[in-house]
Chains A and B, each alone.
Chain A
Amino acid sequence: MALTIDDTFAPPEADWVRVSPKLTTARRLSGAIFCVIPLIAVIVLVVIPSVPRWIPILVAALAVVGYAWFWWFVGRRTRSWGYAERDEDLLVTRGIIFKRLVIVPYGRMQLVDLAAGPVGRAFGITTLQLHTAAATSDAKIPGLTPDVAAALRDRLAELGEQRAAGL
């Protein structure tokens, strides 16, 4: 196998299955909650008369720039998640700056969890988490639509049962 450096996190055969773009929207919206803090700061600064006008404008500008960066970053980061179901193992990859790829043989899966928080439910996305006997496995796939997640869970559970081995 002649892999080049870029191929370290390359998909095995076909391309990675990417997660739903709804995850991007959900995360951008959750991130917007943190904009409340600079917003309050700006209001307070405007109300206090002795503060020069340009200070709240600067704070607001910084907040807008910060959120714009966050907006862009979340988009890229969400697109970096991917998984691939192979015959004997599941591959999950993530990250842009710190990249990570985990390979979990189906026989080692102990349980498969589906979880959806309030924001996730509102957007119709679910997180699938795979557990092995090792705590460091950390194979998690966020941003799956509920039907995709449920189908994947059932497939994984079945494969896991077929190939199950103790500890």
Chain B
Amino acid sequence: MTPNQSAPMGAAGAKRKVNPLTPIIVALPFVPAMFFVLILYSGGSIAAFGLSGIPFALVCALLFGGLMTAYQYLVWRRLTYWFDDSGDLRVDSGVLYRNERRLQLSRLQSVEIVQPLLARLFGMSVVKVDVAGGNASKAVLRFLTRTEAEDLRREIITRAAGVRDVEGVASGVADQVAAGPREVIATVATKDLFLSLLLRTSTFGLLAFTVLLGFVTFWTEGAAGVGLMPITGGVPLFIVISEFNILYGFTITKAADGVRLHSGLLQTRSQTVPPGRVQAIDFVEPLLWRRFGWVRIWLTVAGVAGSGNDDHAKVSESVLLPVAHRSVATEIFSHVMPEVDLSTIALEPAEKRARWRSPIQWSRLAVGHDDQVFVARRGWVTRHLSVVPHARTQSVHVEQGPYQRALGLASVCVDVAPGPVKVLGLQRPAAQARQIAQAQADRARTARAVDTSTHWATDGKPPTNGS
């Protein structure tokens, strides 16, 4: 039922299907869910006619599961994917509303393999393909076996690297991608991850506030704090736990096809960031992390933010490194942007009058650039160092409020694809702000003219020295 399972590089036109077990795996969780819903909602009547309600609920749930499986079978039968002659990924799906999607792989942003808990028990994975351009630019193929998923990912990335004739040229690249060294460049210790999540400024602040609230409530023997404490304490704890679940066991691997991120406690996921797809990067250092020398690296990959704005998607697809020592972060950065050396970029600090507008962070404000990237530094409590390649600069704007105008200041913002990274050059001298903006727009234009980093496979060698 699954052609090309043996040959990782299938013929261009061959149509493929996802694993035939898919309908069952999708429908399975609905059976117990339906069973419990029936039991719960017929609570009174079950007591009335005793245990006979349970087999009835069971039969209903099984029947429902059967119907779901039948429907999912239709979904499965309809879901077909293949690579067309121009090297794009085509996905046909939809039972009632048919959908024929064509993903232009030359615009590939990332390929992700996710293993939800239940699918993991069956050894199945979901492949998510992300192409620049928002919601309609995503393809989700569920489910494939682990090896099928790995092969598909490799094939997609190889094709996205600018290879048309997969049988010919690609075999070299494919072998390189497949057999190339998979060097683990960093892992995050569970202890560090947990501690770092607790010590983030807002989380720690809220938890400390909760403890204080507890004391005050106890002291005054009132009840005012009791209602608030579950919120001030519960919300940050929930965030810590959910991020811990997503980022558990974070491993960064270097392969010829880019940097791979692997993590997850209950649901594992493995994301590949091909070279040249990084839109922007942000090094973040919260106040309480500094004594450990810890840094988190956020990453903007186009298309990710457009595919869902919930925090889960944001965290799981935009963290390049959850927490690590500065030296590790520098090394990871050198794998993602190998041609950039941040230590050689001269940062120009904001002038002293900036203190009247940004009294706390003014001494940290700075911007700089080299021939590859633009860098902006800001933040005192939580330090940010944002990096955007000139070739990924979309536009530049200057803003000035009335107070800034009185001080002769203005802020420059380099616009990048939607994501967690903001590149802000705050409180520059007004005239300089305009110059920075115009210069950056010019650099963006000229950098783009020579940029070929996204077609690394046809350039002979990847720009990253993976092998």
Contact = CB atoms under 8 A, between A and B. Distances in A.
A32 B302 CA distance: 43
A139 B395 CA distance: 9
A132 B392 CA distance: 11
Contacts of A1: 435
A133 interface: yes
B418 interface: yes
B169 to A, nearest CB: 21
Contacts of B400: 8-9, 98-100
A105 interface: yes
B399 A135 contact: no
A141 to B, nearest CB: 14
Contacts of A102: 395-398, 415
A74 interface: no
B417 interface: yes
A5 B396 contact: no
A12 B441 CA distance: 13
Contact of A104 (B395, B410, B413): B395
B431 A100 contact: no
Interface in A25-53: none
Contact of A8 (B132, B391, B398, B417): B398
Interface in A112-137: 132-137
A108 B430 CA distance: 26
Interface stretch (B251-259, B359-367, B442-450): B442-450
A8 B408 CA distance: 10
A60 B98 CA distance: 59
B404 to A, nearest CB: 9
Interface in B393-440: 393-402, 405, 408, 410, 413, 415-418, 422, 430-431, 433-435, 437-438
Interface in B103-162: 106-107, 109, 132
Nearest to A167: B132
A132 B402 contact: no
B371 interface: no
Interface of A: 1, 3-5, 7-10, 12, 88-89, 97-105, 107-108, 132-139, 163, 165-167
13 contacts: A1-B435, A8-B431, A103-B438, A108-B394, A108-B444, A132-B394, A133-B394, A134-B394, A134-B416, A136-B397, A165-B451, A166-B106, A167-B392
